[in-house]
Structure 1
């Protein structure tokens, strides 16, 4: 646990009592503060009461009498599409609003570090797609090299729930736009921006607000090193803003769209080969084509970002490559779950929008595509140029018939359920085919989250395959 500093003897309100909210309450208490908790759900309040935390309904300004700060869980909207009532009440009462990420960065350092030979550092990863894989890959590389490391944030443990850092330890954080937007303190040593595609637009009132939330990690924190994906205009804008000139090696530009040129520090993937250039000279290279845990151009972009981040820590290209080859990937993200009779089965349940589904569709050939769920704005209309490798689509869930309207001449059937889609796809698959779950939709019509959807997919696959699958 990271005890929260700066509030000893004070009352601090905590709104939202899920994983991060309860971890925040415990960390505040460990730092000498008195948490005052609330959740609109009875289940959350019961969890807090079971741990002995005081409850107080926070929807009125007078509820904040004696409160020093309000700490908000990331899923609670504080501005768009409308502020939560408790947040609006805190504003009216003049109470500062923060989140666990802000408390973490304000409290991470301690006097025990004076005894360390190397102070602990933080690598923070944000972006639209690939940030979970990139953060996990950085953590894996560090562990593979024997370096102390912890993984937290939007993946792994809550930031305030991690262990106190050891000498020279690297804490790797995955941070969503919900987390970076509100945090009052953002001071990573190394910041990583993977890419930007439209998502969470209602929460940020459009793409500009969404990008602004991501940008805060760099503009507010002034990290020592910045790894920035430049395959979209926003990334190129960010890299330009953060750099002080062509030779500024604090900014490392990464790309999976083509070769990067110029005098700066570049890491890019082209035709399956990762290359590192400094001062227009190649200093490192890795053949990514046969690395099982990193299939497709989108994972090559993740590999470039993780490579660049760990190179700033002094790891050699050979060390990074060796770690790449032992990386199994993350569950529900281009996860190879079975290989039988020449057919590969891939679980990419995390592909909850058209952009992330496009990356999966580009990564494989001869695809039997399971898609559908609760479609987002635009559905799959933008995927029309990415369907060339689809042999047949099996459509499930609420948006199945809407998706069917945008498939053009691609053979398809309305399967409705995961069980039916898996059964039909496996029955019809031929050697060389890939059965791919990449829904391009949210899961909430049939499942509580994308993890449960992916788990159901894997269970259906395993129930129908006679050969034992290779789990990834």
Structure 2
């Protein structure tokens, strides 16, 4: 795992013990820190320290452990207590480490930390602090409302196929602190959400990429401009000599690029509508993937890769599950899982990628409109609405296209299969969150795959 000598002897409070939180605890303990950790989920507490699922420790933060220690704690001999952080004085702590999903704008513990003058950080900031202890390396940071997972995975794949040691983390894959350090010359490729950037103070990316900024997560920000400013902080943390890559296809991103204009040659702007020959890249179809590919190409060029190395990676990239993923072809109809498209702006490029679509849309809406999708509505033969947003989305779409209020994903797949003809595409691209009917977008995508498999 990745650790830092700078953590030794310090005290950290860790809120949230899912994958990134658990990795954070283990890394801090291995680095010589003292940790008080908490999660409201008893199963997560039990996993990080057996014997604590039912028993809440209200002891002071500097109490040592006397028993019930996990193998990790016996092996490292470090100090950890599982305790409800709401019962503790945060003043003695060096930082409160929270998972990105914790709403720091409204969470009372975050307010208490700010009142106590305790920094609120995340695992990416801890990675930034650990960089001085790692072999010489470079970091690529990629953010944007849409496309960042594909672009991050693509950059990582190009590096991997070129034989350059690389790790992928952040908002994708394994938590970065849980991964083994790279050898000399390696590259860490990080997908960074606005939430993660909010919790980061010192990450100086050798290459920083912004793909786009469109309305999303506005419940966490004081308006759209504040959300855009969160994205822009990726560049504010960066040394001016390091490469900044900004796609300027929307007004907010163009404004951020103008603010970086003094960087000169270190700034690369990607204009919208650039034509690329995507015929040799089977998993990178559609105009949105043209932009993702161009951003990845530019980032890899900044890292010194050759055109031959980059082309090889583009041609062999397999894409990501749940993002424009071809699930099957049944009776000449192609079924595409785009479950990760959870807002209208991320759906619009998918609608543009195919000429005749049976569109499955709905879930827990992030807004009342589908305006971003309407320019591509001519590609839709019929829409099938599902979930909480189904009735509202049906109302929005009926002036433009035939609509079936299917209700469930299984019903939508069955109805679309009955109506589609050879050459058509049945596309799950929901423009909404999944939490009304599924655990997450991955669960929704898996249900789509199962429904398609049931057709045969």
Structure 2 length as normaliser, TM-score?
0.90
The answer to whether the Cα contact below 8 Å between 2:377 and 2:400 also exists between their aligned partners in 1 is no
Aligned to 2:373: 383
CA distance 1:217–1:5, shift in 2 (3 Å):
farther
Q: Which string of whole-angstrom CA distances, capped at 9 and with x for unpartnered residues, describes residues 262-290 of structure 1?
A: xxxxxxx22xx2xxxxxxxxxxxxx2134
Pick which of 207-216 and 375-384 moved more.
Answer: 375-384
Aligned to 2:357: 367
Offset at residue 319 of structure 1 (A): 2.2
Offset at residue 199 of structure 1 (A): 0.3
Matched, 1:63 2:89: yes
| Aligned equivalent of 2:295, options 301, 305, 309 | 305
Stretches of structure 1 lacking an aligned partner (at least 5 in a row) = 114-118, 259-268, 274-286, 466-472
Secondary structure of the 2:346 match is helix
Distance 1:142 1:241 in 2: 30
Distance 1:94 1:341 in 2: 63
Offset at residue 381 of structure 1 (A): 4.1
Aligned to 2:67: none
The answer to whether the Cα contact below 8 Å between 1:130 and 1:298 also exists between their aligned partners in 2 is yes
Distance 1:67 1:93 in 2: 9
Stretches of structure 2 lacking an aligned partner (at least 5 in a row) = 51-69, 74-79
| Aligned equivalent of 1:182, options 195, 199, 224 | 199
Pick which of 69-78 and 43-52 moved more.
Answer: 43-52
Distance 1:291 1:368 in 2: 24
| Aligned equivalent of 1:73, options 76, 99, 111 | 99
The answer to whether the Cα contact below 8 Å between 1:230 and 1:239 also exists between their aligned partners in 2 is yes
Aligned to 1:448: 439
The answer to whether the Cα contact below 8 Å between 2:370 and 2:393 also exists between their aligned partners in 1 is yes
| Aligned equivalent of 1:137, options 137, 154, 159 | 154
Aligned to 2:261: 243
| Aligned equivalent of 1:168, options 185, 193, 208 | 185
Q: Which string of whole-angstrom CA distances, capped at 9 and with x for unpartnered residues, describes residues 96-138 of structure 1?
A: 221111111011222x63xxxxx21110101100000000000
Secondary structure of the 1:6 match is helix
Pick which of 41-50 and 29-38 moved more.
Answer: 41-50
Distance 1:379 1:445 in 2: 18
Matches within 5 A, 1:47-446: 47-50=47-50, 51=70, 53-59=80-86, 62-64=88-90, 66-79=92-105, 82=106, 84-110=107-133, 113=135, 119-222=136-239, 224-244=242-262, 248-255=264-271, 257-258=272-273, 269-270=274-275, 273=276, 287-407=277-397, 408-446=399-437
Aligned to 1:262: none
Offset at residue 41 of structure 1 (A): 2.5
Secondary structure of the 1:336 match is strand
Distance 2:400 2:262 in 1: 50
Secondary structure of the 1:378 match is coil
Secondary structure of the 1:370 match is strand
Offset at residue 347 of structure 1 (A): 0.5
Distance 1:211 1:423 in 2: 40
Offset at residue 419 of structure 1 (A): 1.1
Distance 1:190 1:409 in 2: 43
Distance 1:413 1:92 in 2: 52
CA RMSD, Structure 1 to Structure 2 (Å): 1.6
The answer to whether the Cα contact below 8 Å between 1:149 and 1:170 also exists between their aligned partners in 2 is yes
Distance 2:128 2:11 in 1: 20
The answer to whether the Cα contact below 8 Å between 2:142 and 2:148 also exists between their aligned partners in 1 is yes
Offset at residue 227 of structure 1 (A): 1.1
Pick which of 48-57 and 439-448 moved more.
Answer: 48-57
Normalized per residue, which structure has more helix?
2
Q: What count of residue pairs does the alignment treat as equivalent?
A: 427
After TM superposition, the runs of 4+ consecutive aligned structure 1 residues lying more than 4 A away are none
The answer to whether the Cα contact below 8 Å between 1:381 and 1:406 also exists between their aligned partners in 2 is no
Secondary structure of the 1:244 match is helix
Distance 1:65 1:218 in 2: 31
Distance 2:91 2:306 in 1: 55
The answer to whether the Cα contact below 8 Å between 2:333 and 2:422 also exists between their aligned partners in 1 is yes
Distance 1:350 1:251 in 2: 30
